[in-house]
Amino acid sequence: MPYTLKVAHLYGDLMNTYGDIGNILVLNYYAKKMNVELTSEIVSLKQPFEPAKYDLAFFGGGQDYEQVIVSKDIQGKKEDLTAYIEDGGPMLAICGGYQLLGQYYIGADGERIKGISALPHYTKSQDNHRFIGDIVIKNVETDQTYHGFENHNGLTFLGEGERPLGNVISGHGNNGEDKSEGAIYKNVFCSYFHGPILARNGELAKRLLLTALKRKYPTADLEQQEKLIVKPTY
């Protein structure tokens, strides 16, 4: 295969409560169809994140117990993760990973848990309530509709420079108020979709892979990869 991509699976041994490892499997599936050899490795506790080593990053979700552990360790990776993001490094972040990229989130017990502020959003907590159920959103940039399942206590509010992954057609989204779901900042894509998100939304997987390829191989002819047809699975 003429192209190679290396994925950093951030805290993949801790942040995988909702089967988010499936996103890695789906990326690998579409990578093969795009003639790309994709490899991944877990970057976890007390391990450095090396921005130049990775072409793509994935950060899954977890429960509060794991998130507290990760929130402390990830402060040591803050500078390198922020540099990677600001340099246009592609990343997919789901639920807890999404929250920890922001300023902070409030846990179910009211504890304020520190993020790395690589993205400007913040997350509050609901009292004895969760957003659970099927959700449908539409991305205004691509006109694509994404289908998924949400299950989160958090109420996330986007900040300057962020835009939603999509506008809510049905479901709750980030906070149940402003009809936004997820976030896009530079080449970082965030969402509360579990399931995992890429299994039902292959166009998003294709977008992530193309973004990584164009960044790593800026002069390559990727016409064949651009033409890959992704059939909806919902």
Query: How far is 173 from 105, CA to CA, in rounded Å?
Result: 16
Cα–Cα distance measured from residue 122 to residue 103, given in angstroms and rounded to the nearest whole number: 5
Report whether 200 belongs to an annotated binding site: no
The dihedral through the CA atoms of 199, 201, 203, 206 has a sign that is negative
Residue identified by tokens 């164009």 is 214
Is 190 a catalytic site residue? Answer: no
Beta bridge mates, 156? 123
Q: Known catalytic residue: 129?
A: no
Cα distance between residue 121 and residue 157, in whole Å: 6
121, 147, 152, 194: the catalytic one is 194
Q: Looking at 9, 95, 121, 172, which residue is catalytic?
A: 95
How many angstroms separate the most distant Cα atoms in the chain? 52
Asked if 70 and 105 count as a contact pair (C-beta separation under 8 A), the reply is no
Query: Strand pairing of 180-181 and 166-170?
Result: antiparallel
Report CA 84 to chain centroid distance, whole Å. 14
Reduced to 3 states (helix: H, G, I; strand: E, B; else coil), residue 75 is helix
Q: How many Cβ atoms sit within 10 Å of the Cβ of residue 116?
A: 20
Which residues are part of the catalytic machinery? 95, 194
Residue ranges for the binding site? 130
Residues within the annotated binding site for substrate?
130
